[in-house]
Structure 1
C-alpha cells in the first residue's frame, strides 16, 4: 500500500507502567503529494481524525510504506523509492527515528505532547436561525451523529454556546462533512473571525469528512458563542452545512499546517470559462497532479479558470504552475480580480518555474489583497504560443 498506519501508544484500556492512561498516538505514513513523492510521517493524538505534527522523510519518488515500532519506542519505516517508474520503485529503504525527532522536540515518550483537547459535539444543542436542522446518525462521526443545516437564505446561521473552563489560547479544529450539495460557511467565535474564517463544504470527488484548522483564539472563563453562517453557494452550487465536532486544543505549539489554497486542473474549482474545454496532456514533465491542460494560441476565444476559497480578507501571493517548453507562449495572460480592481499578468511559459517536492513548477503573479469567499483566476489563449493551464495557489 502507498500508506501505512500504526498504533504507537494508547488505545482502549491502555496504561503506562504507573497505571496512568497512555497518550493516544497514531502514526501515518504516505506520499504527501498528488503523486508518489514526498514521503511523510505524521502523528495524530485524536485517533487519526487529524494529523498534528509531520516530518518529511524523502522529498523524491517514494511510496509503498510500512510502519513499525521497536520495544524501546524506535519508529521504523520501510518504503520504496527512487526511479522514474511511478509503479515500481528502484530500491527499498528502511529508516529509523524517534518520536522526538518526528515531532521536532514537541513530543517524546518521556515528556508527552503537553496537549489537552476538549471535543464539542456539534451534532446536538444547536440553535438555528432562518433554516432547518436535521440530526443524522453516522457511525463515522466522532460522537455518532452530525447535524445538517439547510439555510433558507444567505446569512442564515446555526449557533452553539460553549462553557470555557479556564483562560487559554485555544487552537480550534473543526471536523465537518463534505457533500456534493455543500455550501460556503463562515465561522466566528464571539463575533471574531479566525485565520480560517470561510470554508467550502462541497465534496471534490466523493462525500466524506474533512478537518480544518480554524486558527487560535484567546478565551476567558465563561460562555462563548460559536456561529456557523451559510455565506453562499459552494463551488458545486449547493448551500448545505454539515457539522460534526469542534475541538478546543490547548498546546504550547501549533499544528503543522500549510497556509495555502490550491486548485489543480483536475480538481473541484477548475472550470471552462469560454469556448471548448482544453485537452489534458502529460508529455512535458513539471506539472502538479496527474496532468495539465493546454490549447493553441488564439485571440482569447478560449479561457479557463480556477475558483479558489479565500479563507479570510488579507494579502495573498498568487502563484501558478506550468510545464515549460520552447513551443509555449511567452505571454500567457492570467487575470486576477482583487480589492484594487483587475490585473492581467503575462507569464513566459517557455521558462520553468520553481519545482517543489509535492509537484508543480511555480511562478509568482504577485501579491494582492483578496476578499474572503470565492475568487477566480482566469487564463485565456490570447497569446503567441501554446498556453498551459496546470494549478493555481494562494499563499498567505
Structure 2
C-alpha cells in the first residue's frame, strides 16, 4: 500500500517538530556547573568518589558525606589535591538528625546547596534462606530512608530558591529483582518509586529529580559488600560479574552518564555501557529476563557455609576471586578507596548496583 505524499510529509514534519521541542526543552533545563554546591552521599569511595572527582573538575564545590571518618579523610585529601573546594562531613544517612546536622554544616560552610547526589547504599548477597528480617530493614534504612532523609534536608532551601537538582542512584536491580540480592532489590524498588514520585511533585517548584538505574559497575565495591551462605562462592560469582566488561560498566562511564542526566533534567534513566546485555534484555524482553533470572537462581550457590552470618567480600576470597577474572574490579578498588577493610558491624555502608 502506497502512503500518500501529503500524509508522509505530515508524519515526517511531526517527528521533526517533536525532536525540536524535545531539544529545546532539554536546552532550557541545562545549567553551568561552576560555582554550584553539591552534596554527594557515599562520597568517600566507589561511585560517589568518582562522581566527586568529576564534579570538582567542573568547578563545583563538593561536600562528601559518609559514615567512616578515615575514608572521608583519604577522599578529601585526594579531591583537594585536584584543586577542589571540598568539605568532608561524617554523617549516618539512616539518622534524620545526623542528616539535618550535616546539611546545616554544609550551608554554613558553602552558603547554599544546589545539587544533591544520593549514592550511599548497602548491599547483601546470598540466598533468601540466609537473610533475616533485619537484613531487609538495614537495606531499607540506608538505601530508601537515607535517600528520603537527605532530600527532605535540602528541600526547603531549594524550594525557596525555586531551583535545584536531585539525583537518586537506584539500580537496575530496582527494576528487576536479581536472585541472591533480595534485600537490596526490595530497597532499590522503593528508591525508584520514591524518586519518581518526588519528580512529579517537585517539578512545579523548579526542582528536577533524576532516578538513575545503573547496571553492574566496576567501582571496586564487592570487597566491602556483605556476603552470606556459601560466602566464598557468592563473592566469586558477584565479583566476577562485577568485573567482566560485557556484564558491567566502568564507574567513570556511569558517572559521566549520571552527570549528563542531571544537567539535562532527565527523569528515569538506565546507566549502561555499550555491551550490557542485561540492560537490553530488561528493556526489550522483560518476560525473557524473568525466565533467565529463574534459571540463574538454580545455578547460584545453595544454602550452607556460614548460613545467616555475614562476611565482607575481602573475608570471602577464594581461588576464583581475586583472579584474572576480577582484575578490572580489583584495579577499581585500588583507585576508588575501597581497599580499607570494614568489618561487618562497622559504621560503613558499601554500594554497588
Task: Tell me whether the two structures share a fold, i.e. TM-score over 0.5.
Answer: no
More strand by share: 1
> Looking at both structures, which has the greater relative contact order when contacts are Cα pairs under 8 Å and sequence separation is at least 6?
2
More helix by share: 2
- TM class, shorter-length: under 0.3
Q: Which has the larger radius of gyration?
A: 1
Give TM-score, length-normalised by structure 1: 0.23
Give TM-score, length-normalised by structure 2: 0.25
